[in-house]
Amino acid sequence: MKKIAIVTGANRGLGLATSEALAQRGYKVIMAMRNPDKAQKQINALKMKDLDVVAMKLDQSSEKSITDFVNQIRQEYGFVDVLINNAGILIDSEDGGNSSVFKTKASTVLKTFTTNTLGPFLLTQKIFPLMKQEGYGRIVNVSSGMAQLSQAQVASASYRLSKTALNMVTNLFASEVGDADICVNSVSPGWVRTDMGGPNADRSVEQGIKGILWAATLPKGGPNGGFFRDGEPLTW
C-alpha cells in the first residue's frame, strides 16, 4: 500500500516543493493549505506529471479547521505515515519587531504562536495516534536556525519564540513514541529563496527541502527528538 504524507502550507515555497519531491518518491501526498481553490494551477501541474497528490483545506491557526481536516483524513484514509508541519508565518516586520525586540506587540506574538506553534502542536496531537496504531510514522517540524538558543538574538522575537517552542513540541511528541518506529524531528531548511526568505537568501528551494526529505524518509532506528539541518545535528 502507498505511504501517505501530509504536507502543510503545500501551495507554495518549501511546502510545494516538498510535496512534489515526496510524490516523486512514491508517496500519496495530502497537500494541506488554506485555499485549495486558489492553488489549482500548482496542483494541476503536479497531476500533469502523474504525481499522486490531493489538496485539502487546512487553516492551522484554527482548531476547528484542524479537527475537520483530521476527521476527513481519518474517514478517507485511516492512517498517516508522514506529517510535515511546514506552514508558518514571519510577521515581525508588521510592527517593527523585525528590527527591535522593544517594538514587538503582544498581538504579533500571539498570532505567530497560534500558527507556528499551536497549529503544529494540535495537528500532531491528532495525527500521532493514527501513526501509533500502525507502529510507523515520520514527523518533521520545519523549524529555523532563528530558534536556536545558542545564537545571538537581535529581533524578530515573535518568530524566534514560536520556533523555539516548536522545537519543544518536537521533544514532547518524540518522548511519546515508545516502541513504535516513529521519528519526530525538527529541521531547519536554512535561509531559502521563497516568499518568506526573500530573493537574497543563500539557498535554493531544492537545497532547503533536502533536510526535510531526509527526516521524512529516515530508516527504522533513525534519530528521534533531534534538530537538524541537511541531516546534520544543530544545537538547540
Ligand X SMILES: NC(=O)c1ccc[n+]([C@@H]2O[C@H](COP(=O)([O-])OP(=O)(O)OC[C@H]3O[C@@H](n4cnc5c(N)ncnc54)[C@H](OP(=O)(O)O)[C@@H]3O)[C@@H](O)[C@H]2O)c1
| Given 195, 219, 220, 221, the residue binding ligand X (CB under 6 A) | 195
Residue 19 near ligand X by CB under 6 A? no
- Among positions 76-95, residues that touch ligand X (CB under 6 A) are 86-89
Residue 15 near ligand X by CB under 6 A? yes
| Given 4, 14, 83, 130, the residue binding ligand X (CB under 6 A) | 14
Residue 59 near ligand X by CB under 6 A? yes
Minimum CB separation from ligand X for residue 156, in Å? 11
Strands of the sheet containing 53-57, edge to edge, are 53-57, 28-33, 4-8, 82-85, 136-142, 181-187, 227-229, 232-233
Residue 197 near ligand X by CB under 6 A? yes
Residue 66 near ligand X by CB under 6 A? no
**In terms of CB distance, is 93 or 178 closer to ligand X?**
93
**Residues touching ligand X, count (CB under 6 A):** 30
Residue 13 near ligand X by CB under 6 A? yes
Minimum CB separation from ligand X for residue 158, in Å? 12
Minimum CB separation from ligand X for residue 169, in Å? 12
| Given 61, 104, 117, 185, the residue binding ligand X (CB under 6 A) | 61
Residue 11 near ligand X by CB under 6 A? yes
Minimum CB separation from ligand X for residue 127, in Å? 15
Contact pattern from residue 147 through residue 166 relative to ligand X, giving x for each residue in contact according to CB under 6 A and a dash for the rest: --------------------
153 CB contacts (<8 Å, ≥6 apart)?
101, 160
Q: Give the span between the Cα atoms of 174 and 183, in whole angstroms.
A: 7
Q: Give the span between the Cα atoms of 34 and 202, in whole angstroms.
A: 28
List residues binding ligand X (CB under 6 A).
8-9, 11-15, 33-35, 58-61, 86-89, 115, 142, 144, 188-189, 191-192, 194-197, 201
